[in-house]
């Protein structure tokens, strides 16, 4: 599964430009699904099974990035705006990759002056794409992603775009293990434009009209020095969401996941996230409403080029999702 994660995280696909990632995922899932649809917004919708409870599983293909907005006439440096939740503290000296493979480096005005101790405004940053001969085909209107390859450190995987390519990998691996055997009608939806407002999930949920939904995403960890006070930690297992700023998980959905994890002996932890949300926040309000929850992969350094996950947690998420989809949906009432 590490090879799959590597392939996905090193792919290029900022919000609104997910076509390369979609092609990779399509090739991976085709042997294991009954139907594939690409909707007008670009979501990849893959159906397995027919006639049972309709379950939507959502993992977003996009990643944060930048959009060039202006080319300085003399230097050729490119000014840019964010695509998604860009952290200014991560930018100086970082690299970006354009769709044609060009690598740029992010500079900042006065890096050893005020920029050394203060976080500069985005207008103070620029991208250097000079090639030494004064020519470049890059101008305003070009999207780019932050760029790094995947590295391993024991059971830890470090890469850009774990958010949410690792969720896509969890969905793909669950598809493989199901091998079309499910009593449910499951729609695996690889969504677009999550980082800019959950746009793909909202449209896909209206089309699928699920009975219940599961979002797959990353979540923060509470095990960093002076980090956020939360109980989720790397190596603690799958994180079953209870609450975040966009979603209050129905108790019946949360208990459905907890019961499955305990029945199958899968390590899990409960997630209460004070900042951020997932595709489930958009899915829950589709049509007349959809009971929605989320399974999260604990992750350090979210929205940087060094997002870090543990392979044991990834496996726990795959096992939990596969178990849920292999059995009939039972949601307690009352």
Do 7 and 129 lie in a common domain? no
Q: Domain span at residue 53?
A: 2-63+160-326
Residue 334 located in a structural domain: no
Q: Which pLDDT tens digit goes with each residue over 285-332?
A: 999 999 999 999 999 999 999 999 999 999 999 999 999 999 999 887
Do 52 and 98 lie in a common domain? no
* H or E stretch covering 5: helix 2-9
pLDDT at residue 110, as a whole number: 78
In order of 27, 71, 150, 237, 239, the CA distances from 167 in angstroms are 17, 36, 16, 14, 12
Residues of the chain with pLDDT under 50: none
pLDDT at residue 139, as a whole number: 85
Kindly name the residue from 63, 185, 194, 271 that is annotated as catalytic.
194
Residue 23, helix vs strand vs coil: helix
Residue 53 and residue 212 in contact, taking contact as beta carbons nearer than 8 Å: yes
Residue written as token pair 């208990």: 255
Residue 116 located in a structural domain: yes
pLDDT at residue 184, as a whole number: 97
Do 10 and 99 lie in a common domain? no
Do 36 and 95 lie in a common domain? no
Residue 96 and residue 60 in contact, taking contact as beta carbons nearer than 8 Å: no
Q: Which pLDDT tens digit goes with each residue over 176-206?
A: 999 999 999 999 999 999 999 999 999 999 9
Do 83 and 222 lie in a common domain? no
Structure tokens at 234: 């790397």
Q: What CATH number should be reported for the domain holding residue 73?
A: 2.40.30.40
Residue 87 located in a structural domain: yes
Final residue of a structural domain among 115, 146, 177: 146
Residue 126 located in a structural domain: yes
Q: What is the pTM assigned to this prediction?
A: 0.95
Strand partners, 241: 271
For 147, phi then psi, to 5°, come to -125, 125
Final residue of a structural domain among 146, 179, 203: 146
What is the rounded (10 degree) CA torsion for 79, 84, 88, 92?
-60
| Angle at alpha carbon of residue 326, lines to 321 and 328, rounded to 5° | 110
Residue 33 located in a structural domain: yes
Residue 214, helix vs strand vs coil: strand
pLDDT at residue 334, as a whole number: 56
Do 195 and 307 lie in a common domain? yes
Residue 227, helix vs strand vs coil: coil
Total domains present in the chain: 2
Residue 273 located in a structural domain: yes
Residue 154 located in a structural domain: no
Residue 79, helix vs strand vs coil: strand
Residue 151 located in a structural domain: no
Do 165 and 279 lie in a common domain? yes
DSSP string, 98-127: ETTS-EEEEEESSTTTHHHHS---GGGEEE
- Helix ranges (DSSP H) in 231-275: 251-264
Q: What CATH number should be reported for the domain holding residue 319?
A: 3.40.630.10
Do 58 and 23 lie in a common domain? yes
Residue 190: count other Cβ atoms within 10 Å of its Cβ: 30
Q: Is 194 a catalytic residue?
A: yes
Final residue of a structural domain among 84, 119, 146: 146
In order of 15, 250, 332, the CA distances from 289 in angstroms are 26, 12, 17
pLDDT at residue 113, as a whole number: 62
Do 103 and 168 lie in a common domain? no
Q: What is the 3-state secondary structure (H, E, C) of 144-156?
A: EEECCCCEEECCE
Do 59 and 74 lie in a common domain? no
Strand 292-298 vs strand 212-219: parallel, antiparallel, or unpaired? parallel
Do 140 and 168 lie in a common domain? no
Residue 174: count other Cβ atoms within 10 Å of its Cβ: 25
Do 277 and 193 lie in a common domain? yes
pLDDT at residue 138, as a whole number: 86
Rounded Cα–Cα distance for residues 230 and 47 (Å) = 35
């Amino acid at each position: 599964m590490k090879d799959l994660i590597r392939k996905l995280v090193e792919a290029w696909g900022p919000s609104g430009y997910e076509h390369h990632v979609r092609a990779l995922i399509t090739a991976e899932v085709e042997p294991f699904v009954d139907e594939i649809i690409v909707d007008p917004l670009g979501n990849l919708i893959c159906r397995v099974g027919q006639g049972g409870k309709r379950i939507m599983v959502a993992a977003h293909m996009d990643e944060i990035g930048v959009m060039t907005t202006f080319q300085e006439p003399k230097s050729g440096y490119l000014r840019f705006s964010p695509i998604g939740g860009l952290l200014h503290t991560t930018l100086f000296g970082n690299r970006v990759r354009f769709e044609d493979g060009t690598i740029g480096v992010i500079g900042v005005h006065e890096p050893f002056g005020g920029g050394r101790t203060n976080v500069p405004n985005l207008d103070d940053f620029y991208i250097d794409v000079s090639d030494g001969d004064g020519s470049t085909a890059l101008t305003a209107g070009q999207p780019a992603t932050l760029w790094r390859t995947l590295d391993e450190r024991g059971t830890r995987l470090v890469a850009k775009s774990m958010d949410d390519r690792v969720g896509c990998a969890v969905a793909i691996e669950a598809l493989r293990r199901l091998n079309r055997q499910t009593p449910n009608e499951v729609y695996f939806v690889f969504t677009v434009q999550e980082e800019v407002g959950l746009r793909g999930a909202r449209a896909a949920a209206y089309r699928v009209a699920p009975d219940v939904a599961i979002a797959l995403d990353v979540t923060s960890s509470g095990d960093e020095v002076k980090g956020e006070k939360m109980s989720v930690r790397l190596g603690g297992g799958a994180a079953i969401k209870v609450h975040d700023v966009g979603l209050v998980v129905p108790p019946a959905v949360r208990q459905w996941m907890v019961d499955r994890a305990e029945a199958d002996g899968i390590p899990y932890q409960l997630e209460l996230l004070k900042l951020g949300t997932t595709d489930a926040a958009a899915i829950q309000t589709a049509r007349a409403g959809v009971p929605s929850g989320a399974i999260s992969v604990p992750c350090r350094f979210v929205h940087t080029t060094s997002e870090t996950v543990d392979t044991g947690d990834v496996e726990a998420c795959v096992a939990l999702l596969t178990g849920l989809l292999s059995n009939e949906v039972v949601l307690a009432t009352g």
